[in-house]
Structure 1
Amino acid sequence: MAERDGGREGRDRSPVGATASRPRGFRLDQPRPPRRRVVPEWDPEAFGRLSEKIARFLGTGRFIVWMTVVIIVWVLWNIAAPDVVRFDSYPFIFLTLMLSLQASYAAPLILLAQNRQDDRDRVNLEQDRKQNERSIADTEYLTREIAALRAGLGEVATRDWIRSELQDLVRELELERRQEGTGRSGQYAFPAERANRPPGRDADDR
């Protein structure tokens, strides 16, 4: 009984470091509950895509035309319209405030779009570098293979070499035929010479 109680106490006691770093009731086989945040969350990719669209629109001629039209209408309205309907009299302080607000938002959006484009360019350059390394490795491998094939073909009999060997063989056979034809009396080395003989001399050959 004492041993069982001692074993239970030993199991209940755990290292101080293990329990100090984990809260009570924490389990490793379950995901952590989401934390509550005071600041609202947003998708960085969606915000980045929106900033790129705005930056692209700010860099087009359409935006410049529309902005010029709005400013001209704004100024003419606040100059020629009656005083009752004017909302921004000279020196157009509200217009200056709106343009400053637009510039203050446009600059960070353009910088964010540029940063995203720089990240894409960096990834593309890295991929191009890896592709170039693979292409160089493949080219070196093919070069070595072609050199090995050339070295192997240097030891293979070519058509010119076979032709020269056959010509030498034909010359040797011609020389042997001539030697045999001059050494034997009344006999010919080849049947072609026998066929060219006159028919009346067959009996002498026998």
Structure 2
Amino acid sequence: MADRLDTPKEARRTLWRRPRLDQDAVGKATEAIARFLGTPRFLIWLTVFCAIWLAWNSLGPPALRFDKAENGFTALTLMLSLQASYAAPLILLAQNRQDDRDRVTAEQDRQRAERNLADTEYLAREMAALRLALSEVATRDFVRSEIRNLLEGLEDLEVQRATAPESTPAPAQPSPGTSPAP
């Protein structure tokens, strides 16, 4: 029977177990190495290493030299090539992880900006509604001006009563319990 594509494959038994690596731990290690490869400390150590290598194999005792200058320091060239062949993929792996983090950060920033815009629009609508509502409600300044106008009106009325001749009788106040005459 042919294998179906909608079901997972059965686990096969092998002689050697595949190592299970924590991808995050491997990523952190590669980032640490890539970060170190880009530092002045690494360049200084590499320069010191190459200088010692070249000095030993050029000036050291001929019997103890292991990389001949006549051969163009082949072992040093191979070691530097090996270091470069490992450095390039490690740096690319670290850059990919950084790109993934940047992508997540950009998405979170975009979502945060959308929420801020929605909040700002909501607050603007609420403020507009409050302004409309306040134009229909008496404000403190409006109430003060109305009270001031009433006080001025009362003062004018008192002044008129004080200066008015006594000959005009004041209207009679009806006594309580009686109705005014028609």
Alpha-carbon separation, structure 2, partners of 1:173 and 1:78: 115
- Contact 1:181/1:187 (<8 A) preserved: no
Q: Which runs of 5+ in 2 are unaligned?
A: 172-182
2:46, 2:123 → 1: CA distance? 60
Counterpart Cα distance in 2 of 1:151 and 1:36: 76
Q: Deviations over 1:67-122 (max 9, x none)?
A: 00110110111111122111001110110011111111100000000000000000
Match of 1:40 in 2: 18
Structure 1 residues 81 and 157 mapped into 2: Cα distance closer, same or farther (>3 Å)?
Answer: same
RMSD over aligned CA atoms reads: 3.0
CA contact (8 A) 1:78 1:89 kept: yes
1:83 aligns with 2:62: yes
Distance 2:166 2:154 in 1: 16
2:98 aligned residue (117, 130, 136): 117
**Number of the residue aligned with 1:162:** 143
TM-score (norm 1): 0.68
Matched residue type, 1:152 = A
Residues in 2 aligned to 1:36 and 1:183: alpha-carbon distance in whole angstroms = 124
Q: Which blocks of at least 5 consecutive residues in structure 1 are unaligned?
A: 1-18, 23-31, 190-206
Equivalent residues of 1:54, 1:109 under 8 A apart: yes
Partner of residue 167, structure 2: 185
| Deviation of 1:44 (Å) | 2.0
Question: Higher relative CO (CA 8 A, sep ≥ 6), structure 1 or 2?
Answer: 2
Quick one: percent identity of the two aligned structures?
Answer: 55
Larger Rg, first or second structure (1 or 2): 1
Residues 152-175 of structure 1, C-alpha deviation per residue, up to 9 Å, x if partnerless?
111111233223323433344455
For residues 168 and 82 of structure 1, the distance between their equivalents in structure 2, rounded to whole angstroms, comes to 113
In structure 2, how many angstroms separate the alpha carbons of the residues matched to 1:47 and 1:161?
72
- If the length of structure 2 is used for normalisation, what is the TM-score? 0.76
Secondary structure (helix, strand or coil) at the match of 1:157 reads coil
